[in-house]
Amino acid sequence: MLSVKTKLLNHLTKNGEKKTSEKILFKSFKKLQKDSSKPTKDILKTALVLSTPVFKVHVIENKKQRKKNRKIKKIPYFIVNNSSRISLAIKFIMKSINNKFKPLYSKLQNEILLTSQQKGDSINFKKELQKQVLTNKKYFNFYKWK
């Protein structure tokens, strides 16, 4: 099982540049430590807990019909594995970082801080996902409960 730090590094890494992703992660952790009185480990844990979704939506498209008449089913399903929940929360945090004017480490630090205070964009992504699950709950009969 991968640790949260290695998962963050894997999500930050682009084009095999692991050293640059490590630098970005450590700079953001240092900035987090300077800006807050709590330890960065606790802030990161609360941010991940608050942004972890319980359900995920799987899109199924009927390809036997014509393109105009294709029906798309959005089937919600329960995420059983904790590591996949954590990685989805990290994806939400990475997706919410989109400001081009600031350096990446400060954007990551700001998003982790805002998410730990329940104000970040990743929490909005989680809420939108929950709304999609509630609107498509009629498709729960396709899900096999174990």
- Residue 134 CA from chain centroid, whole number: 19
The CATH number of domain 4-141 is 3.40.605.10: no
User: Hunting for tokens 């540049």 — which residue is that?
Assistant: 17
Q: Where are the domains of the chain?
A: 4-141
Report the amino acid identity of residue 18: K
User: Hunting for tokens 């608050």 — which residue is that?
Assistant: 50
- Provide the b/e sequence for 20-44 (b: ≥16 CB within 10 Å): ebeebbebbbebbeeeeeeebeebb
Report the amino acid identity of residue 74: K
* DSSP per-residue string spanning 15-31: TT-HHHHHHHHHHHHHH
pLDDT in tens, the chain (146 residues): 468 888 888 888 888 888 998 998 899 999 999 988 899 889 999 999 999 998 888 887 877 777 677 777 788 888 888 888 998 899 888 888 876 778 888 888 989 999 999 998 889 999 998 888 888 777 766 655 54
